[in-house]
Structure 1
Amino acid sequence: MKLLTDITLTQIVLANLALMAGSCLQGVAGYGIGTLAAPLLFLISPLLIPAPLVLNATLLTVFMLVRNRSALQIRQVRFAIGGGVGGAILAALTLLVISTQGFDVIFGGLILLAVALSIGGRKPTLNARNSILAGAASTYMGTITAVGGPPIALIYQNEKGPLVRANMSAFFLAASFLSLSALFTSGYLGRTELMLFVATFPGVLIGFWLSGKLVNRMPFEGLRPVILGVAAVAGLAALVRGLLAL
């Protein structure tokens, strides 16, 4: 049964399940909806990324910011947001010039880069320069792939849970609006993407609700290899598909 263009009811159900898992992960760890859900959504249907996922991630960050607002330290976030402006502009220019096949190649490459950053073991200091660089990289990657978590997560990996969830939510909210502006400008955000968002946001609501129950129980580190493995497989699949189509 076709619901939208080439999207079936089964694909919508699977997309909601992927978003539920990613939203629950982000509610617990501070990031993860992109790292987990984007590769799965790409495998379900490329139409589900990037704009529908970015819209869902924006909704989730609003919920998370409200939940963790007491731990927010906005002075630390402003540099990352400033870097995000440059990342969004570069992403918009990239999307304006690439073909569908080129998008697959860039998507796959950036997903693999995100996995490499996540397992690389680097621990950069949380300072203004690194915040600007991480903000730019996260917004660029988040606009094109909806996976913007790894660069910004690197500079927050030594901070405490409530601060991480609050500050990263504030950054992701600003970065999401920058990404949506870039997607709209480059023609990647329209009526179809909005309808797909409406069809899939229930998964985000359920996942966020579940994260409140699991925030002190979910073994994030134990799940990390599985999440990165899924991302790597999907990233490689996208890269190969794009290269074969060139």
Structure 2
Amino acid sequence: MDDISPLQILLANLAILAGSCLQGVAGYGIGTLAAPLLFLVSPLLLPGPLILNATVLTILMLIRNRGALQVRQVRFAIWGGALGTALAGLTLLVLSPTGFELIFGVLILTGVALSVAGLRPTLNARNSVIAGAASTYMGTITAVGGPPIAMIYQNEKGPLVRANMSAFFLTASFFSLSALLLSGYLGLRELQLFGLTFPGVLIGFWLSGRLVNRMPFNGLRPVILAVAAAAGSAALVRGLWSL
């Protein structure tokens, strides 16, 4: 493609590989880690191409962890996700390029704040609806929808987390892609970029299967959040500079 270089494609694949590996181990992370990096590589890679890659990843993860899935528990988050997607679609319809950078930066920094806040909400129907709505709203606009939904699963076991969050993210991805299509943020260019960055997902998922019991997610968490905060701040500064 003329508007993105081979080096940018390579860097995008590496970012998606790292994010896919992290999500394969922890249950979430492709958005939190990869989206800020992709924004720095090229804003064209967000949100559509990354959400398409995340959809493929969640399908693979759901197949791997299907034995631990509890559909009854995750359905409330999915209902909330439908509401969050509708609100995100309306937001995208009125956003300018400068507005996108501003809201991207604000939502990324919000996700970081939620991750470090230390809140421990109970896993129940009400909190699942709220977390689902917040997650899909953030995920549709920035491709970073993990922090809100991860908060209500932080006290659960690994297989359950990976299975239920994969089921939620898969449904949320289809919601988000529908909103992006209707608001004009998903077209041929985004599909081409998805095709060029798809290998990163496959390699990252394969690698996560070998690291699932060895990767020190808690040790990497500060680095991931620092990267997200830096990219969110950069997007906010760029948006404010363009006003």
Q: TM-score w.r.t. structure 1 length?
A: 0.98
Alignment of 1:12-161 (within 5 A): 12-161=9-158
Q: Distance between the aligned counterparts of 1:237 and 1:5, measured in 2? A: 25
Matched residue SS, 2:119: coil
| Inter-partner Cα distance in structure 2 for 1:222 and 1:88 | 32
Q: CA deviation at 1:35?
A: 0.1
Gaps of 5+ in 1: none
Instruction: Indicate the SS of the match to 2:40.
Output: helix
Q: CA deviation at 1:98?
A: 1.0
For 1:213-232, list aligned pairs within 5 A: 213-232=210-229
**How far apart are residue 145 of structure 1 and its match?**
0.2
From 157, 168, 192, the counterpart of 1:195: 192
* Structure 2 residue ranges without an equivalent (≥5): none
Moved over 6 A (4+): none
Aligned pair count reads 243
Q: Deviations over 1:158-180 (max 9, x none)?
A: 00000000000000000000000
| Aligned counterpart, 1:210 | 207
1:241 aligns with 2:238: yes
1:5 shift after superposition: 3.5
Relative to the length of structure 2, the TM-score reads: 1.00
User: Aligned partners of 1:222 and 1:39: how far apart in 2?
Assistant: 19
**Percent of matched pairs sharing the same residue:** 77
**Structure 1 CA distance, aligned partners of 2:79 and 2:232?**
28
Match of 2:5 among 8, 12, 33: 8
